[in-house]
Amino acid sequence: MSFWIEHYQGRPKLLVVDDQPINIRIINELFRADCDMHMATHGEQAIATSKTLQPDLILLDIMMEGMDGLEVCRRLKSDSTTAAIPVIFITAKSEENDEALGLELGAVDYISKPLNSAIVRARVKTHLTLKLQNDYLKGLASLDGLTGIPNRRAFDVRLTQAWNQACREGGTLSLMMIDIDYFKRYNDHFGHLLGDQCLRQVAETIAQSVNRPYDMAARFGGEEFVCILPDTHLQGALTLAKKIQHSISQLAIAHPASAVSEQLTLSIGIASLMPRIGSEPTELIALADKQLYQAKNNGRNQVHCPPD
């Protein structure tokens, strides 16, 4: 089934949920050569695994002891972290009414028992391909057209997610706002084509500096960039900011029109909060923006943050 595998970054993740070991073994044999296979034998385990694993597709048996597949699907679709994961129900022929209800709940398809290998493979191929295409289109919509890093829309979504998670778990969330010093002068001096090239270089450098998978570097607008840093205290964010400044200095991009250096420089503002239920992520944006203003007001080419 390698016809779609090569288009995934890594192998597709398939979660099989069934309380009958024989069904799990059958599906595992069909896909283990091409997919990363994961198993759950009851509803609570399926929900927990789905949240942490974020599989590309779930094969979910309807009839299980305890929480049945319909309830599992209902809970998955009501949770924003798992709602987009496609679900294929596995049903017995006597469960036609359950099939209809399952589709109403948001399942994308169903497969009848006894399992037919050719049908199972065809259905899984179809829905993994659709998932890949959907992810690709979502990815395009969330990327900045010039720099190729996440855009303002993607930033807003990710910040809200990180904020809500920190509210639930009590973590610290840091935000870094970055501005290219005297970029208008750069554009006036070199022209917009070289200005666009400069923006791409800066964006790539910032994105490469943000290494953890749950962090995000994004273009905020114009010559401004942002970095979302969950579970990061002020000192950790400050260390990263200095790393980014150093990486930009290593590029040695000439900027003869700058008032602070002969090379391109950045001003960076940092803020950290422990989000509270009932508060809004705009609070963190405002704090980071205030720190950026202080960095620019104090002469630019520097990092500014509140006292630790």
Choice among 111-125, 131-145, 211-225 with the minimum mean pLDDT = 131-145
Q: For residues 218 and 150, is the Cβ–Cβ distance under 8 A?
A: yes
Please state whether 300 falls in left (phi above 0), alpha (psi between -120 and 50) or beta: left
Q: Which residue in 124, 300, 152 sits closest to 216, CA to CA?
A: 152
Residue 5 has pLDDT above 60, yes or no: no
* Average pLDDT, integer, range 156-184: 95
What is the 3 state secondary structure string of 42-88?
CHHHHHHHHHHHCCCEEEEECCCCCCCHHHHHHHHHHCCCCCCCCEE
Confidence of residue 8 (pLDDT cuts 50, 70, 90): low
Residue 163 has pLDDT above 70, yes or no: yes
Choice among 46-50, 138-142, 169-173, 180-184 with the minimum mean pLDDT = 138-142
CATH homologous superfamily, domain 2-141: Response regulator (3.40.50.2300)
pLDDT of residue 12: 92
Between CA 45 and CA 49, with CA 48 as vertex, the angle to 5 degrees is 80
CA dihedral in degrees (234, 237, 243, 248; nearest 10)?
A: -120
CA distance 195 to 180: 11
Q: Which DSSP letter does residue 142 get?
A: T
Domain locations along the chain = 2-141, 152-304
Confidence of residue 200 (pLDDT cuts 50, 70, 90): very high
CA distance 47 to 87: 12
Residue whose token pair is 């589709």: 103
152-304 shares the fold of 2-141:
no
pLDDT of residue 135: 83
CA distance 298 to 174: 22
Taking the model in full, what pTM does it have?
0.66
**For residue range 245-269, what is the model confidence (pLDDT) as tens digits?**
999 999 999 999 999 999 999 999 9
CATH topology of domain 152-304: Alpha-Beta Plaits (3.30.70)
Q: Which residue has the higher pLDDT, 2 or 124?
A: 124
**For residue range 86-111, what is the model confidence (pLDDT) as tens digits?**
999 998 866 567 677 878 899 999 89
* Average pLDDT, integer, range 111-126: 91
CA distance 69 to 42: 9
CA distance 284 to 290: 10
Give catalytic status of residue 223 as yes or no. yes
Sheet order of strands, 87-91 included = 36-40, 13-17, 57-61, 87-91, 109-112
Q: Which DSSP letter does residue 9 get?
A: S
How many of the other CB atoms lie within 10 Å of CB of 64?
A: 21
Provide the b/e sequence for 91-108 (b: ≥16 CB within 10 Å): beeebeebbebbeebbbb
**For residue range 40-89, what is the model confidence (pLDDT) as tens digits?**
999 999 999 999 999 999 999 998 989 999 999 999 999 888 999 999 99
Please state whether 179 falls in left (phi above 0), alpha (psi between -120 and 50) or beta: beta
pLDDT of residue 196: 97
* Average pLDDT, integer, range 115-133: 92
Amino acid 197 reads: Q
Report the SS3 class of residue 200.
helix
Task: Tell me which of 95, 96, 223, 283 is the catalytic residue.
Answer: 223
